[in-house]
Amino acid sequence: MEKIRLQLFAVNTTQSAQAGNDLSAEMKTYYEKRLIDIAEPKLVHDQFGDKYPIPAGGGKTIEFRKYDSLEKAVSPITEGVTPEGNSLNVSAVTETVMQYGDWVQLSDMLEMSAVDNNVLQATRLLGAQAGRTLDSITRDVLAGGTNVIYAPSVADGEATPVTSRLDIDGTCKLTADLIFRAAAQLKGMNADPIDDKYVAIVHPYVAYDLMRSEEWIDAHKYATPENIYAGEIGKLAGIRFVESSEAKIFRGEDLSSASRTLSVSDYSASASGSANAGEASAFALTVTQPLDVTHANKMIGQTMLLKNASGQYAKITVKGVNTANRQLFLNAAVSAFTPADGDTVYPGVGGKDGVSVYATIVLGAHAYAVTELEGGGLTHIVKQLGYGDDPLNQRSSVGWKATRCASRLVEQYMVRIESASSYALNAPAN
């Protein structure tokens, strides 16, 4: 599929050269370069997307238009008879640009008494923050792709297929076979490589499992090691791997302020009573831990795992919570087994028993698009003492802002592999 038109959008930025920002030109250039230098190495999720210029005056919405491929014309045409012909099918993908940023306030006393250069230190911290922020925006878009391969569960040398994230356990490791499968899927969809190969973004904890494969080739062993991507660590199955600690990790939040999990004390098939932020149900689990409104609201609509003493699992969906009675109201009866005292409720989002699930995203060319960093304007903003309403010159500030928009253009050109890791089963979500 082909992209043929882009409706460009405007970017309005505030430069540190504006009135009131009386840094010398050399200082402004130095600080701005420092901010971008710190931010760029963390932007691994941006480097493989299609980039577009962002001129002013084009609005805030970006629109990509693409045409579906035509079916093969395998039927012979009749001599002298014009065939019916075909028609074009076009679809659009639109996204809206958002603005992000943060700032740090400094005081005159801090500047006079501190040993360190606080503008430089603030720039360093803000640059790292900007890099993580912008990278995460693109990463979360990619992690929402529809093509998923789940690592199988392995017991006694036998692999059992896994069909959902909640079924991923600690034995579901990323293997060379899964990488070959992802490569085959992209080839089957006629996805073009990026430069010469497909690219995968992988978390270091998952790379730990993969790099011990016999087929793995370290980046420093390449014939031309100088032509490597930022963060590249090696290749396997025709896929080049870029490592990032910002690669997506799925893990459910704690279910109460007192505990990550909840312990069942009773199960009722005829419960009554009101539920916070949800409708009461005829099916309810009473738990031993105290429930608060904040955690309760996050559980509404969430599918979680219930585990009994025999090691059996059941998926449950919470439709309401009564915090006073410590009850979880379910949208349906638990059919896998009858819940009993001592059963455990695990958070959803992550894997079985609450383990962390790591996303390895394998990409072909033109799979997604992002705004260009320079055109979109990661801007460093330094305000000197006395700016704004500051009659005694007591306050200065350092900040950044940027516009960002990312969009999956062709779902078939990207594959997400979800797995656990033998190095860290319970890493926090990011």
Q: CATH number of 262-348: 3.40.720, 3.40.50, 3.30.70, 2.40.30?
A: 2.40.30
Exposure of 57 by Cβ count < 10 A (0-12 exposed, 13-18 middle, 19+ buried)? exposed
Domain with CATH 2.40.30 in the chain: 262-348
Neighbour count for residue 391 (Cβ, 10 Å): 6
Closest by CA position to 46, among listed 237, 174, 199: 199
Name residue 320's beta-bridge partners. Answer: 329
Q: What is the pLDDT of residues 408-421, one digit of tens each?
A: 999 999 999 999 99
Return the pLDDT at 270: 62
200 CB contacts (<8 Å, ≥6 apart)? 179, 182, 239, 240, 241, 242, 360, 361, 362, 363
H/E stretch holding 149 reads strand 148-150
Q: Mind listing the pLDDT tens digit for each residue in 288-297?
A: 999 999 999 9
The better pLDDT of the pair 249, 5 is held by 249
Tokens of 297: 């609201």
Report the residue count for the chain. 430
Q: Which pLDDT value is given to residue 157?
A: 85
The kind and range of the H/E element at 126 are helix 118-142
List, for residues 72-111, the tens digit of each pLDDT value. Answer: 888 888 888 888 888 888 777 788 888 899 999 888 766 6
Which residues make beta-bridge pairs with 100? 402
Q: What are phi and psi of 305, to 5 degrees?
A: -110, 135
Higher pLDDT, 410 or 386: 410
Burial of 60 per CB tally in 10 Å (0-12, 13-18, 19+): middle
Mean pLDDT over 383-394 rounds to 85
> What element of type H or E holds 209?
helix 204-210
Contact 404, 232 (CB under 8 A): no
What is residue 77's three-state secondary structure? coil
Cα dihedral 321, 325, 328, 329 sign: negative
- Rounded distance between C-alpha atoms, residue 318 and residue 287, angstroms: 13
Please give the biggest Cα pair distance in the chain.
92
Virtual CA dihedral for 136, 137, 138, 140, nearest 10 degrees?
80
Q: Kind and range of the H or E element at 122?
A: helix 118-142
Q: What is the pLDDT of residue 29?
A: 58
Look at strands 262-268 and 249-250 and give their pairing.
unpaired
What integer best gives the mean pLDDT of the chain?
83
pLDDT at 63: 75
| Of 14-18, 44-48, 180-184, the least confident | 14-18
Give the predicted TM-score (pTM) of the model: 0.81
pLDDT at 285: 93
232-246, 274-288, 392-406: the lowest-pLDDT one: 274-288
The Cα-based distances of 414 to 69, 145, 229, 348, 410 in angstroms read: 18, 7, 18, 25, 8
* φ, ψ for residue 68, nearest 5 deg: -75, 150
